[in-house]
Amino acid sequence: MVNIYNRRLHFMTIKQIERQGPLMDAPPNRLAMLTDYVSPEERSVACPNQDVVYGIGALALDLSPVVVQVPDFGDRFWVYQAVDLRTDSFVQLGKMYGTTPGFYLLVGPDWKGEVPKGITKVFHCPTCTGMIAPRVAQNDTPEDKQAIQSVLPGIMIYPLAEFDGTMKTKDWANLPQLPAPPAGDEETQWVLPEKFVDELPAVLADAPPPPGEEARYAQVLAVLAAAQYDPALKQAMTAGAKEADELLVKPLFQFHNYGQQLPFYWSTISNESAFGTDYFTRTAVAKSNILVNSPAETKYFYQDLDDHGARLNDTNRYTVTFAKGATPPVNGFWSLSIYNEHHFFVKNSINRFSIGTKTQDLKLNADGSLTIFVQAEAPTDQNQLANWLPAPKGNFSLYVRAYWPKPSILDGSWTPPAVQPVNL
């Protein structure tokens, strides 16, 4: 919750829709779209993907309800994610829901206004603060990168006062370009332990306790109130926040330390974007790969280890082989992405960070199976190059996304195959 709260504070400082280096920014209750895959230099959100063209915006529903435009995507896969302060989803907008083009309204918990004519549906957010992130599928061909440009301008959100029943457009390719802000190797630090005690009262005020959590909230608020009058107590609480961040939260960055454990050391979660009072999983996801879609929209599988339980590392070569007909069963599409130890992309010689449905030249084995070669150096066998996923230096992680998954993924009967080290 503090993570999303601080992201909103960042967007509150933005005065115009713009690009800042590899990222895009917009004032609250508006969004900015990319026009191609996210750049490998991005450091705002861990575990980005290069399966879709992203947009991002901060919701401040205490300032105004927000109109969401849905253009006609045709047959192209798309989904709009909108989450509250808890990163729980409160909308269903996407191809898997049969959403029709038009206008949709996002309102805060206390809004009692009149819904204007022309609004197809209203979605109620339980908090005033949230995030919205459209995702629109794109494949790797120049033709599709050009074709997607016709639909992107119609993806917009704006305050209700600007709604006039007409579809607005924005030329996302020609936004003001600002220099890239300073960025390190890790994700931008959105939760600062030294500020945690000061920020928590505003965060909890925006996210009232869910049923059954009233007593827990009362306890926390009582201690926070006491800290306002006792510097020693506040100092002790801040020290506790720093210790918890280092000893409890930091280890959750490693995928193998949380989630449902699956065969071959893969893991997953089943309550993504519906965490409720599962604070442990919500914290782990916020630390390792925040802003995950609902299961019906995208299912995620995480991997840090090979099939012997050893940490994935560039000093080894690996294969991931999907049996014939056993790639992730989806109505949409699937991908296998690779991230460095900080859960970000690292530039490589072929500019490839994921493989899947979008990869047009994958080669199948003679028996119809599909082998992906995960290694730092290019395969010496020319027949393997099309299926090469370049590994970054050091430890790395693999990550399967199944967009619009079929029931066999949702019920757990399909899980990913082993990541096998290659004997040198």
| DSSP SS3 for 76 | coil
Q: Count Cβ atoms within 10 A of the Cβ of residue 45 and give its class: 0-12 exposed, 13-18 middle, 19 or more buried.
A: buried
Cα separation, 16 vs 31, whole angstroms: 10
> pLDDT per residue over 203-250, tens digit each?
999 999 989 999 999 999 999 999 999 999 999 999 999 999 999 999
72-86: per-residue pLDDT in tens? 999 999 999 999 999
C-alpha–C-alpha distance, residues 137 and 36, integer Å: 10
Exposed/middle/buried for residue 319 (C-beta within 10 Å: 0-12, 13-18, 19+): middle
Virtual CA dihedral for 394, 336, 306, 186, nearest 10 degrees?
Answer: 30
Strand-pairing partners, residue 104, are 68, 121
State the angle between helix axes of 2-12 and 196-206 in degrees (0 to 180), rounded to the nearest 10: 90
Q: Which amino acid is at 400?
A: V
E strands within 295-352? 298-303, 318-322, 334-340
Q: For position 7, what pLDDT does the model report?
A: 97
CB contact at 8 A, 80 and 57: no
Distances (CA, A) of 281 to 89, 258, 399: 15, 7, 17
Which pTM was predicted? 0.96
pLDDT confidence of residue 424: 53
Contact present, 404 and 294 (Cβ < 8 Å): no
Q: Give strand pairing partners of 121.
A: 104
**Regions of the chain with pLDDT less than 70:** 424
- Interacting residues of 161 by C-beta distance below 8 A, sequence separation 6+: 64
Secondary structure class of 244 (helix, strand, coil) = helix
